[in-house]
Chain A
Amino acid sequence: DTAVSQTPKYLVTQMGNDKSIKCEQNLGHDTMYWYKQDSKKFLKIMFSYNNKELIINETVPNRFSPKSPDKAHLNLHINSLELGDSAVYFCASSQGGRGAGTEAFFGQGTRLTVV
């Protein structure tokens, strides 16, 4: 039974389109995240949600909007996709809120390619 699952695994789309990536965790964790991994494998946090409240918005463009219907789900919606949005997006979850210092559990990633 997958702990953190995200769909789709691959997403190819044209510039200007709007797309969503879904994430679900069955670990009972309080906090969920979205990370972006660029072509050089560098990982950077985009958003963090704790009990459905946004904690971090790491200066990502406002075309990216996270939505959390409940604490087990954190979806990422992207408007007006650009070539530079091509990357691998990872969903993750952890127990405890700000300052907890706990490890995160990651999904398998969504490889987004904008053409």
Chain B
Amino acid sequence: GDSVTQMEGPVTLSEEAFLTINCTYTATGYPSLFWYVQYPGEGLQLLLKATKADDKGSNKGFEATYRKETTSFHLEKGSVQVSDSAVYFCALSDQGSGGGADGLTFGKGTHLIIQP
């Protein structure tokens, strides 16, 4: 079945540091890939997405590139802010004739803490 593996946290960084959160996946079909963010006490918000190999998703200074050869979708940001403190989830949704079940398969989440 499909699975997503992401680095476990918490990840603690100083403000303006460079951020990388690693994410790799296994899928039976042709997945779309997503990063979601969950701020304390809130639901999940879509941060960015990519639907095919070599696509780059970007939003709010965050970027991730769909790498089919390494089955990865690492999240990066050049300069983090205290307001970026949250839990980040990598996820996939399978598509195409070889796709699996409907819905999203999530990684376990990475808790990011940004210190001033």
Contacts and interface: CB of A to CB of B under 8 A. Distances in A.
Decide whether A and B are members of one complex: yes
Interface of A: 4, 31, 33, 35, 40-45, 48, 50, 55-56, 90, 92, 94, 97-109
Given A100-B93, A100-B95, A109-B43, A42 B102 contact: no
Interface stretch (B13-21, B28-36, B75-83): B28-36
Interface of B: 29-32, 34, 36, 38, 42-46, 49, 51, 87, 89, 93-97, 99, 101-106, 108-109, 111
Contacts, number: 81
Most buried by B among A44, A94, A100, A107: A100
| SS of A interface (majority) | strand
A85 B88 CA distance: 24
B109 A56 contact: no
Most buried by A among B89, B95, B97, B103: B103
B37 to A, nearest CB: 11
Most buried by B among A45, A90, A107: A45
